[in-house]
Chains A and B, each alone.
Chain A
Amino acid sequence: MNKKVIEVKDLSFSYNGHPVLEGVNLSVDKGDFLAVLGPNGGGKTTLIKILLGILPLQQGKVHLLGQKPGKAAHKIGYVPQNVTGSEKFPINVLDVVIMGRLGFLGRFKKYSPRDYLMAVQALELVEMSDFQEHMIGNLSGGQRQRVLIARALACDPEILFLDEPTASVDQPFQTRLYQLLHDLNQEGKTIVVISHDLSVLSSHAKSVACVNKNLYFHDSSEISQEMLEKAYHCPVELITHGPIPHRVLKDHH
Chain B
Amino acid sequence: MLEVLQYEFMRNALLAGLLVSIACGIIGALVVVNRIVFISGGIAHASYGGIGLAFFAGFSPYLGAIGVALCSALIMGVVSRCRKHRADTVIGVIWAVGMSAGIILIDFTPGYNVDLMSYLFGSILMVPSTSLWTMSAMNLLILLLIFLFYKDFLAMSYDEEFALAMGVPVGPLYFLLLCMVAMTVVMTIQIVGLILVIALLTIPSYLAEKYTTSLKTMMAWAVIISIVFTQSGIWLSFYLNLSTGATIVLVAAVFFFISGLIPQRILFRQS
Contacts and interface: CB of A to CB of B under 8 A. Distances in A.
Interface of A: 49, 52-54, 70-71, 73-74, 76, 78, 80, 83, 86, 88-92, 95-96, 99-100, 102-103, 105-108, 110-111, 133-135, 137-138, 151
Contact of B164 (A53, A107, A138): A53
B215 A138 contact: no
User: Which among B213, B215, B218 has the greatest number of chain A C-beta atoms within 10 A?
Assistant: B213
A91 B168 contact: no
B148 interface: yes
Interface stretch (B4-12, B52-60, B113-121, B152-160): B152-160
B211 to A, nearest CB: 9
Contacts of A102: 151-152, 155, 163, 166-168
Interface stretch (B19-27, B196-204, B230-238, B263-271): B263-271
Given A89-B33, A107-B149, A134-B268, A99 B162 contact: yes
A78 B215 contact: no
Given A102-B166, A135-B268, A91 B214 contact: yes
Contacts of A78: 162, 165-166
Given A52-B164, A110-B151, A137-B267, A86 B159 contact: yes
User: Which among B148, B149, B158 has the greatest number of chain A C-beta atoms within 10 A?
Assistant: B158
20 contacts: A54-B161, A54-B164, A74-B167, A76-B165, A90-B33, A90-B212, A90-B213, A90-B218, A91-B154, A91-B213, A96-B158, A99-B151, A99-B158, A99-B159, A99-B162, A102-B168, A107-B149, A134-B267, A135-B268, A151-B162
Nearest to A152: B162
Contact of A138 (B152, B162, B169, B269): B269
A95 to B, nearest CB: 7
B155 A135 contact: no
Contacts of B162: 78, 80, 99, 151
Contact of B159 (A70, A80, A105, A111): A80
B155 to A, nearest CB: 5
A53 B165 contact: yes
Interface string B240-271: 00000000000000000000000001011110
Contacts of B209: 88, 90
Contacts of B155: 99, 102
How many B residues touch the partner, as a band?
20 to 34
Interface string B140-155: 0000000011011011
Nearest to B270: A134
A70 B215 CA distance: 26
Secondary structure at the B interface, as helix, strand, loop or mixed, is helix
Given A83-B159, A86-B158, A103 B214 contact: no
Contacts, number: 91
Interface of B: 33, 148-149, 151-152, 154-155, 157-159, 161-169, 209, 212-215, 217-218, 265, 267-270
Contact of A99 (B148, B163, B214, B218): B163
Contacts of A73: 165-167
Nearest to A130: B270
A108 B145 CA distance: 10
Contacts of A133: 268
Contact of B166 (A90, A95, A103, A137): A103
Nearest to B218: A90
Shortest beta-carbon contacts, A-B, top 3: A73-B167, A102-B166, A52-B165
A228 B165 CA distance: 30
A134 B267 CA distance: 8
A137 B240 CA distance: 43
B244 to A, nearest CB: 31
B152 A89 contact: no
Contact of A89 (B148, B149, B157, B217): B157
A73 B161 CA distance: 12
A80 B163 contact: no
Given A91-B154, A95-B214, A102-B166, 19 more contacts: A52-B164, A53-B164, A53-B165, A54-B164, A54-B165, A70-B167, A80-B159, A83-B159, A90-B213, A90-B218, A95-B154, A99-B166, A102-B151, A102-B152, A102-B167, A103-B166, A134-B267, A134-B268, A138-B269
B265 to A, nearest CB: 8
B61 to A, nearest CB: 36
Contacts of B166: 73, 78, 99-100, 102-103
Nearest to A77: B165
User: Which among B161, B163, B166, B217 has the greatest number of chain A C-beta atoms within 10 A?
Assistant: B166
Nearest to A161: B165
